[in-house]
């Protein structure tokens, strides 16, 4: 049996091969995952209460040590856990970078399409050499040659 599980705050809802639902308390079935979820939740709650990220993580690490989460792992690896929590994943930063990357990708795609369109128009005018068109559009000469051949085939 290989159940498919979905997690919420404190339970895993699993569907077994017969599609029967069962609710498994994480603290009984996967204490390490349960402890980690509690730690992450503590950081999120700290952030919602107005703490900056460093303070939110620091307080959550101290709390995890006091609660002996992950069998004392937080106490043994305090500096590493704190550093990883601060730098490993920042959801807001991730979303911002994705937006910026998407914008840059879209801009680059638009510029490339415009260069190809300009090259095609210049080729149809038949007044410049392939080298001049490549220089004017910043396209590689080989790409301009391909476009030229495509235009000749269409005509």
pLDDT digit string, tens, across residues 131-151 = 999 999 999 999 999 999 988
Strand ranges of the sheet holding 11-15, from the earlier edge strand across to the other edge: 4-7, 11-15, 21-25
The Cα-based distances of 91 to 8, 14, 85, 95, 96 in angstroms read 19, 27, 11, 6, 9
Contacts of 73 (CB under 8 A, 6+ apart): 81
User: What pLDDT was estimated at residue 4?
Assistant: 47
Instruction: Please write the tens of the pLDDT for every residue from 24-44.
Output: 555 566 777 778 888 888 988
User: What pLDDT was estimated at residue 72?
Assistant: 83
**Is pLDDT above 60 for 18?**
no
Mean pLDDT throughout 44-57?
91
Q: What is the CA radius of gyration of the chain?
A: 28
Token couple for 135: 């220089």
Q: How confident is the model at residue 76 (pLDDT cuts 50, 70, 90)?
A: confident
Mean pLDDT throughout 7-17?
45
User: What pLDDT was estimated at residue 28?
Assistant: 61
Instruction: Output the CA torsion sign for 93, 53, 71, 28.
Output: negative
Q: How confident is the model at residue 22 (pLDDT cuts 50, 70, 90)?
A: very low
Instruction: Output the CA torsion sign for 7, 8, 11, 14.
Output: negative
Classify strands 11-15 and 21-25 as parallel, antiparallel or unpaired.
antiparallel
What's the mean pLDDT when you consider all of the chain? 79
């Amino acid at each position: 049996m290989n159940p498919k599980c979905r997690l919420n705050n404190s339970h895993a809802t699993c569907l077994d091969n017969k599609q029967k639902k069962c609710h498994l308390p994480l603290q009984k079935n996967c204490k390490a995952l349960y402890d980690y979820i509690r730690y992450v939740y503590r950081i999120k709650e700290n952030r919602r209460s107005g703490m900056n990220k460093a303070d939110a993580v620091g307080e959550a690490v101290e709390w995890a040590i006091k609660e002996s989460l992950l069998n004392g792992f937080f106490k043994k690896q305090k500096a590493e856990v704190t550093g990883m929590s601060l730098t490993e994943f920042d959801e807001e930063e991730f979303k911002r970078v994705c937006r910026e990357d998407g914008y840059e990708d879209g801009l680059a795609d638009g510029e490339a399409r415009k260069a190809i369109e300009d090259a095609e128009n210049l080729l149809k005018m038949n007044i410049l050499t392939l080298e001049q068109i490549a220089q004017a559009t910043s396209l590689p000469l080989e790409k301009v040659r391909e476009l030229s051949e495509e235009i000749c085939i269409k005509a």
